[in-house]
Amino acid sequence: MSNIIQESWSHDRSHLKPRVLHIGFGAFSRAHTLRYLDDALDKSGGDFGAVVARLNSGADELSALDAQDHEYLVVEADDDEIRARRIGCVVGTINPGRDGVDALPDLIAAKDLCLVTLTITEKGYCLRNGKLDAEAPAISADLKNAQTPRSAIGVLVEGLRRRREAGAGGITLMACDNLPENGTALREAVVDYARLLDSALADWIGENVAFPSTMVDRIVPALDEAGKALIAEASGSSATIGIVCEPFLQWVIEDNFAGERPDFAAAGAMLVDDVRPYEEMKLRMLNGSHSFLAYLGALAGHETISDCMGDAVFRKAARTLMMQEQAPTLSVPGDVDLDAYADALIARFSNSRLGHRTQQIATDGSQKLPQRLLAPIANHLERGEPWALSALGVAGWMAYLGGKSEKGEALKLSDPLAERLAEIASCNEGDDLVEALLKLDAIFPPALVGNEAFVAGINESYRAITEQGVREAIAQACAKYDTEEG
């Protein structure tokens, strides 16, 4: 362990109280949101202890965290350095199946609680075209049993109802998922749900609850055997709970809070008036290229993102996509250098320590495509600009649904619409497959599907993948930019 840099919190854990609730205690929150909170406590003090919750699973994992005095390890690793940081900001855990359905709403109603953060993935917000999908199974079930909710949105609203009744005052709910204007999305979901139950409650939420938008950034793969071995090496115990991630981290937060909050700025977070320029930059250049690499890389037989970066065709395509198709759609602050940002992303993607699997990033494509690839394409269509690589990304997703790589390897489909997508993929091929998928208006906006150039571009890209192969299709798309630049 001599080459692993060891760090730990320096704040006084005995002063901590349950002031922050995090819903969705998964890999990302451990390495990012709670890492920032721990650092904020080190830098500025305070009593902002965190209670972490899992809604539908993970009770055993939370109990294991309880047994380790709520401590866990974040191993920040790249090809040059490994740094192990012990996190000490957690003071409790909640799982409704273990602790009862009242545990979370009651905590949200507690006067001392000032902040709820969420990492529940895009599908956890139960949105359809920016509004609450009241017909989503989790939402419709909760509306019938509002005081014993199971969904994140139902839990939040029931907690806010109890908070209002208790006279505990306002609170901040902060989305930390990769959604455009995620604070607005969370507000829409919460207020829409509340209004279906009680318009007075919805009005109270609108007046007393803050929903700041955020942009979060840190690459945190699902923990694999190599990661577990690294955690054991760093801690000296195979029983230590931990996560492995890249060294880079960033958090941009809209400065819109209802009352007290931890001093995240002291930990390096940026508090700004408008998060949108930063979130669009990240969603399109990082997440958009990630999805591009995930679908096309998996089809080509690349297991990880760093494997893709070791393939000159994919490496060139990723940077070309970023700078030729994603960057032109952005309006960023004057001090942001997009060339440097793209270079940094390529370096981060090349980190072989992470083992970030293409099939992991390929999950929930129906929820990710609209903001990562379709929105930039719509922008290019309006301006008459090329979008060949973005088209390949969308077509790559369509080809991925077939369930086999070019090498015959199985590709796992994990998506809220998996059953419908698999049915379409099994019953159609070629242009018919593209046409059937484009009819899914939960993914593809009618205005986009009504654009003949869009439909033709996706069809052409899908044919290129199936007839020429992934690498050749990518190389030809990149060559179009070489010709233009020449």
- Report pLDDT digits (tens) over 178-208: 998 999 999 999 999 999 999 999 999 999 9
What is the sign of the dihedral through the CA atoms of 117, 372, 126 and 246?
negative
The pLDDT value recorded for residue 128 is: 87
130: pLDDT confidence band, cut at 50, 70 and 90? confident
pLDDT (mean) for 357-384: 96
User: Nearest Cα to 388, choosing from 434, 454, 302?
Assistant: 454
Three-state SS across the chain?
CCCEEEECCCCCHHHCEEEEEEECCCHHHHHCHHHHHHHHHHHHCCCEEEEEECCCCCHHHHHHHHHCCCCEEEEEECCCCEEEEEECCEEEEECHHHHCCCHHHHHHHCCCCCEEEECCCHHHHCEECCEECCCCHHHHHHHHCCCCCCCHHHHHHHHHHHHHHHCCCCEEEEECCCCCCHHHHHHHHHHHHHHHHCHHHHHHHHHHEECCCEEEECCCCCCCHHHHHHHHHHHCCCCCCEEEECCCCEEEEECCCCCCCCCHHHHCCEEECCCHHHHHHHHHHHHHHHHHHHHHHHHHCCCEHHHHHCCHHHHHHHHHHHHHHHHHHCCCCCCCCHHHHHHHHHHHHCCCCCCCEHHHHCCCHHHHHHHHHHHHHHHHHHHCCCCHHHHHHHHHHHHHCCCECCCCCECCCCCCCHHHHHHHHHHCCHHHHHHHHHCCCCCCCHHHHCCHHHHHHHHHHHHHHHHHCHHHHHHHHHHHHHHHHC
Question: Do residues 171 and 113 touch, judged by C-beta distance below 8 A?
Answer: yes
* pLDDT of 482 higher than 80: yes
Q: What tens digit of pLDDT does each residue of 213-239 get?
A: 999 999 999 999 999 999 999 999 998
The pLDDT value recorded for residue 483 is: 56
Q: How many CB atoms lie within 10 A of CB 110?
A: 19
Domain 4-272 has CATH 3.30.930.10: no
Enumerate the domain spans of the chain: 4-272, 276-485
pLDDT (mean) for 12-41: 98
* pTM summary value: 0.91
pLDDT (mean) for 77-92: 96
Q: What tens digit of pLDDT does each residue of 272-312 get?
A: 999 999 999 999 999 999 999 999 999 999 999 999 999 99
* pLDDT of 458 higher than 80: yes
The pLDDT value recorded for residue 1 is: 43
What gap in Å lies between CA 150 and CA 54, rounded to an integer? 11
pLDDT (mean) for 460-480: 97
- Report the share of the chain in percent with pLDDT over 90: 95
pLDDT (mean) for 53-58: 94
On average, the pLDDT of the chain sits at 96
Side-chain-side CA neighbours of 16 within 13 Å: the count stands at 25
On the question of a common fold for 4-272 and 276-485, the answer reads no
Task: Return the CATH number of the domain spanning residue range 276-485.
Answer: 1.10.1040.10
Burial class (CB in 10 A: 0-12, 13-18, 19+), 439: exposed
Question: Do residues 209 and 173 touch, judged by C-beta distance below 8 A?
Answer: yes
What gap in Å lies between CA 41 and CA 395, rounded to an integer? 46
Question: Do residues 237 and 271 touch, judged by C-beta distance below 8 A?
Answer: no
- Chain CA centroid to CA 204, Å: 29
* pLDDT of 393 higher than 60: yes
The pLDDT value recorded for residue 2 is: 52
486: pLDDT confidence band, cut at 50, 70 and 90? very low
